Amino acid sequence: MQTIIRAVPFVAMFMLVGCASTFEATHDHDPTNDFSTYRDFAWISEHPMKVGETASPVSPLLEGKIMRSLESQLEAKGYTLVSDPEAADFVVSFTIGSRESIKVDSYPSMSMGYRYGYPSHWGWGASYYCCAQDTRVREYTKGMLAVDVFDADEHRPVWHGAATKSITDSDRKNIDETVDAAVAAILEGFPPQ
């Protein structure tokens, strides 16, 4: 029983890691920028969310969820949120989007046919031969979250991170966890090393 109790935290940790690892993240930055001087951040505007192309309407509550996740995870990295963008070292904005996609996979399949007469070399007249093809069509929604960082003094972009994922019903039901996992995947590359 004690062994099972000790294993629970490890199982939970692997489940969380598995959740976050489903996002494909990309990062880009200005290599001439000195990120080591950054201490304070602010939002680029009162409403920092931009909405790109989307497959369905966007909940107005999503902006606040993403803002809270970004604030929390940037503060965990040692940055301090300030209210005035002019007093910050860098400002942050983000873009969301989604699109419907279709994936078609075709596979040769083995089917059983019967030859005339018996016995054949497979016994009782049955032999395997490839004569068919299975085709699977799957519709899915590909979601995207992109985060942009701008140098507040020079008013120029210095860092960009994006995460994409095929959105499942579970992702929609657990939106806070999905947002946190996307933000974590993106901020894994900030500041750039």
- Separation CA 152–CA 110 (nearest Å): 62
Q: What is the pLDDT of residues 106-125, one digit of tens each?
A: 667 655 554 555 444 545 55
- Parts of the chain with a pLDDT under 70: 1-21, 55, 99-107, 109-133, 135, 137-141
Q: What is the pLDDT at residue 135?
A: 67
- Say if CB 24 and CB 164 are below 8 A apart: yes
- Separation CA 18–CA 36 (nearest Å): 31
Q: Which domains does the chain have, with CATH numbers?
A: 2-103+139-187 (3.30.160), 105-136 (no CATH)
Amino acid at 114: Y
